[in-house]
Amino acid sequence: MASFDLPKELLLGSATAAAQIEGGDVNCNWYAWSLAGRVGKGESSLGGAGHWDRVEEDVALLSSLNQECYRMSIEWSRIEPEQGAWSPEGLAHYRRELELLAAAGIKPHVSLHHFSCPQWLQERGGWLAPDAVERFLAFARRVVEEYADLAAEWTTINEPNVLANSSYMEGNFPPGAKGDLGGYFRASRALIEAHCRAYALIHEIRDARGYPEPTRVGFAHHLAVFTPKNTFAALGTALSDFLFHRIYFAGFVEGRLLPPLGFGKPFGRPGANGLFCDFIGVNYYSRHLFTACARPPFAAQGVDPKAADRNDLGWEIYPEGLFQVCSAAWKRYALPIHITENGIADASDSRRGRFIIDHLAQVRRLLDTGVKVERYFHWSLIDNLEWHDGYGPRFGLVEVDYATMERKPRPSARLYAEICATKRVPESAGQGA
């Protein structure tokens, strides 16, 4: 692959999530989940990557790697550790982090919900609690009022499809339900309502204050390429695509409930474009091969056995899929695309450099076909707690020694830093960086 340039207006950066890197949070539902032995090999979320105590160091790291933007999340349990009790320490901490980013000239992109919630909400049913949406909106209001001056770009909810599926179908996330299709649908509807109402709320707060930088709100949608193995699997694959992708597009972007979630557009005030998004966040990692099965949705997810290029978790590395999913989203809504996550589990760092180059080549291809891609966030800045997979997977541009919390940029981080600085993507050099 020949070298190529990226436009200066495309901002390049990296992403993290608070619950995965901060450590020390005993009020988060993932701490209780880890105490129950449901994380990795009985690992605890308490350590994380030590980010809570190393904010200054990590922002300096971002700067040294020439990151133009940074996607971060604000942990709900840090802000509201007990219901209705706002933490001055938590509020001050994130203001400090955002101020450090501003001083470094790094544009923040703030996520309000990234899989985790306070344990007090989990004990009341999580997203199935009768007042879950209202509680989330109270949290969102408190956070946006606090940081409206420092952040103009907001993701309301990260990967609602993964959250609902992992919580109620696969049993990997709290509360650990399996095959609970009703729970999946009810949680999905609550997440859609929360997003639509938060969209209006964030605009209301920031727009009323008259900040010069326009308010931009969206969500981060996990989009994968779904491919049927044969004609027998085609129907199940289409149904899986509907349940995992389409109902969330309709809900989060249009404010429209598709059956079985409901009917119509019940959640009120879209933007001037008639939609509930100013951009679409795309989290893309892989392609999935589906075979037919007897149980709903009549398709079983797997990996193409012919796929030779895989990450450490066994996921197929399929760069063309990034072009496919972003093109489809653009064709449907013509909204700017923020690639909010794209990365690889690669402990040896032998494939990450090529991964970055090959996926940025798809970004270049998208731009060349008229798709408006505005942000690219590599997942992740640093190694982290990869949810139920624990600390084994290594997604970081920067290696973390979990015994000492020492940070060490990998060779791929230096490659990406050069790309961020120059907007010049070098020729791919095979499997390595």
The pLDDT of residue 11 is 99
Concerning whether 153 is annotated as a catalytic residue, the answer is no
Evaluate whether 330 touches 372 at the Cβ level (below 8 Å): yes
* Catalytic residue, candidates 97, 159, 193, 316: 159
Evaluate whether 395 touches 383 at the Cβ level (below 8 Å): yes
15-32 pLDDT tens trace: 999 999 999 999 999 999
196-240 pLDDT tens trace: 999 999 999 999 999 999 999 999 999 999 999 999 999 999 999
113-156 pLDDT tens trace: 999 999 999 999 999 999 999 999 999 999 999 999 999 999 99
C-alpha 288/C-alpha 307 separation (Å) is: 11
Nearest of 246, 128, 136 to residue 184 by alpha carbon: 128
The pLDDT of residue 152 is 98
Handedness of CA 372, 374, 378, 380 (dihedral sign): negative
Give residue 46's pLDDT band: very low, low, confident or very high (50, 70, 90).
very high
The pLDDT of residue 197 is 98
Question: 55 or 298: which carries more pLDDT confidence?
Answer: 55
103-124 pLDDT tens trace: 999 999 999 999 999 999 999 9
User: SS3 sequence, the chain?
Assistant: CCCEECCCCCEEEEECCHHHHCCCCCCEHHHHHHHCCCCCCCCCCCCCCCHHHCHHHHHHHHHHCCCCEEEEECCHHHHCCECCECCHHHHHHHHHHHHHHHHCCCEEEEEEECCCCEHHHHHCCHHHCCCHHHHHHHHHHHHHHHHCCCCCEEEEEECHHHHHHHHHCECCCCCCCECCHHHHHHHHHHHHHHHHHHHHHHHHHHHHHCCCCCCEEEEEEECCEEEECCHHHHHHHHHHHHHHHHHHHHHHHHCCECCCCCCECCCCCCCCCCCCCCEEEEECCCEEEEEECCCCCCEEEECCCCCCCECCCCCECCCHHHHHHHHHHHHHHCCCEEEEECECCCCCCCCHHHHHHHHHHHHHHHHHCCCCEEEEEEECCECCCCHHHCCCCCCCCEEEECCCCEEEECHHHHHHHHHHHHCEECCCCCCCC
358-405 pLDDT tens trace: 999 999 999 999 999 999 999 999 999 999 999 999 999 999 999 999
The pLDDT of residue 429 is 55
Instruction: Enumerate domains of the chain plus CATH numbers.
Output: 4-425 (3.20.20.80)
Q: How much is the average pLDDT of 70-75? A: 98
The pLDDT of residue 268 is 84
Token pair of 36 as six digits: 């129950």
Burial label for 405, CB within 10 Å (0-12, 13-18, 19+), is: middle
The pLDDT of residue 88 is 98
Handedness of CA 11, 215, 82, 389 (dihedral sign): negative
Q: What is the pTM of this model?
A: 0.97
Residue 387 has a CB neighbour count (10 Å cut-off) of 22
The pLDDT of residue 433 is 44
Residue 62 confidence (pLDDT) above 80: yes
Give residue 294's pLDDT band: very low, low, confident or very high (50, 70, 90).
confident
C-alpha 207/C-alpha 374 separation (Å) is: 22
Evaluate whether 140 touches 204 at the Cβ level (below 8 Å): no
Residue 7 confidence (pLDDT) above 50: yes
Token pair of 411 as six digits: 């060779």
C-alpha 296/C-alpha 179 separation (Å) is: 9
Handedness of CA 331, 68, 54, 152 (dihedral sign): negative
The pLDDT of residue 132 is 98
Whole-number average pLDDT of the chain = 97
The pLDDT of residue 295 is 85
Nearest of 156, 151, 175 to residue 164 by alpha carbon: 175
The pLDDT of residue 432 is 44
Residue 430 confidence (pLDDT) above 60: no
Nearest of 397, 418, 376 to residue 49 by alpha carbon: 397
